[in-house]
Structure 1
Amino acid sequence: MNEEYSLAEVAYKRLEEDIVTLKLQPGEALTETRLSQTLNMGRTPIREAVQRLSWEGLVSIRPRLGMVISELNPGDYTRVMDARHPLEVLLATSAARLASRTERDRLHDCTSAMRDAAAAKDMLAFMRMDKTFDEIIGRASCNPFAAKAVAPLQTLSRRFWFRYMGESDLTAAAACHLDLMQAIGKGDEQATRAMAEELMRYMRRQAVSLIAEVSFSS
């Protein structure tokens, strides 16, 4: 059971990254056989991973037709941010109060890696560190319910960012994460709340500008 669970987790992480980074394109059809061959795994962990991706809105499961990678609708980005915003503020503020020294140090290292990735314009490395950053805060908050609720929204946000923002805003995004990390590191709940609010407002501005750009071009 433990081995199957770990394989399902590996399959999930690999497929999630391929979807976020558009290696698997929106609208692309998949089969369990193809995924089993690609990931070199049996169908049971593949099926568990796909069910999780479906719950998160990244994959649609269609009877007799297989799996299809969900489309990207720019208009959904603001809705994702509306739902994500309060949860992120809650988690960050809790992390400032409850994070261990090890978790604060890991956030520091993660943010440094994000800055390096931004400077190198390495989008994939930045996305991986962004996910790690979110996971550390989720654990440090000691609120698994909020962390589980926000995780799909974080993934959807990264997918939108990778598709539409690209390398252009990595430096600014890294700076916002740095400010948040420093506030959490000091255990300053008030400053953490302010920095988390600012990071979410920054991302929502990106979402709004995306919608305006798409509307103008159409």
Structure 2
Amino acid sequence: MVVSSSAIHTAAEFVYDQLRKKIFEKALTSGQRLPEVAIAKDLNVSRTPVREALRRLESEGLVQIIPGWGACLASPSKQEIIDTYEVREDLETMAIRKAAKRITPLQLCRLQEQIDAERETFVNRDLESYLKVNDNFHIIIAESSGNSTLVGYVKNILSRIFVQMIFFESFFDFDTNPSLEEHIAILNALKEHDEAECVRLMKEHLRLSMEGLKAK
């Protein structure tokens, strides 16, 4: 029986969706092995779409594939997350310093939209959506800097943190969103084009995030 490439692609999409869902729901453990044979059997597919799905997850940083050993979930350490945040602070401080002078009314409206969406996604405990909305808030600020190279670096560091935070098990172990009021304060400072206050608030926001990680 000949299996078409479109059928394989559809099966790979199915496997990808199932594995990604398990990752975000914490049904799989950080560092856990992902044997192709077991996954194929569990999802009633061949190994080919499983292999394709694992490669896609690897490209997103969610999975590691070790030649001769196989695939496993990524396993970032708390220190790696903290180190990434330190780099992030320098990039985002530069971005908001420039944005304070250049940000437009339209960009301010887009930031408000992200804050509104952040409230909803946190209430729903939707980790993936929450992290995306959070990232969008910071990306809009970077875009407001007018420096396209800086935007690229900010997107890269946020992408790293996005993956790392997925595996941080106690991420939603609080009743209120600690970053929401900080984002509101940052937006208000940007509306006033207060460069010094914008920088202070951004540094404080990222410092509190790192301290929260260290305390867990």
Category of TM-score, reference length = shorter chain: 0.5 to 0.7
CA distance in 1, matches of 2:100, 2:125: 29
State the identity as a percent. 18
| Runs of at least 5 residues in structure 1 that lack an aligned partner in the other structure | 1-10, 211-218
- Find the partner of 1:154 among 133, 158, 161: 158
Query: 1:203 maps to which residue?
Result: 209
SS in 2 for 1:164: coil
Query: 2:186 maps to which residue?
Result: 180
Compare the two structures and name the one with the higher helix fraction.
1
1:82-161 equivalences under 5 Å are: 82-118=86-122, 120-124=123-127, 125-158=129-162, 159-160=164-165
CA distance in 2, matches of 1:21, 1:147: 30
CA distance in 2, matches of 1:59, 1:189: 40
The normalised TM-score by structure 1 is 0.67
- Going from structure 1 to structure 2, the CA distance change for 1:95 and 1:61 (only over 3 Å counts) comes to farther
Query: 2:41 maps to which residue?
Result: none
What amino acid sits opposite 1:109 in the alignment? E
Q: CA deviation at 1:130?
A: 0.6
- What CA deviation, in whole Å up to 9, does each residue of 1:75-97 have, x standing for no partner? 32221222211111111222222
CA distance in 2, matches of 1:37, 1:83: 31
Count of residues paired in the alignment: 184
- Mapped pair 1:34 → 2:50: yes
Runs of at least 4 residues of structure 1 off by over 6 A?
A: none
Q: Give me the CA root mean square deviation.
A: 3.3
- Give yes or no for contact 2:58–2:64 (8 Å, CA) kept in 1: no
Q: CA deviation at 1:136?
A: 1.6
SS in 2 for 1:60: strand
Q: CA deviation at 1:60?
A: 2.8
- Going from structure 1 to structure 2, the CA distance change for 1:141 and 1:105 (only over 3 Å counts) comes to same
Please identify the structure whose Cα radius of gyration is greater.
Answer: 2
Q: CA deviation at 1:149?
A: 2.4
Greater mean alpha carbon deviation, residues 25-34 or residues 168-177 = 25-34
- Give yes or no for contact 1:81–1:200 (8 Å, CA) kept in 2: yes
| Runs of at least 5 residues in structure 2 that lack an aligned partner in the other structure | 1-12, 37-47
- Going from structure 1 to structure 2, the CA distance change for 1:21 and 1:192 (only over 3 Å counts) comes to farther
Q: CA deviation at 1:74?
A: 1.9
SS in 1 for 2:141: helix
The normalised TM-score by structure 2 is 0.68
Q: CA deviation at 1:131?
A: 2.0
CA distance in 1, matches of 2:86, 2:152: 17
CA distance in 2, matches of 1:24, 1:146: 35
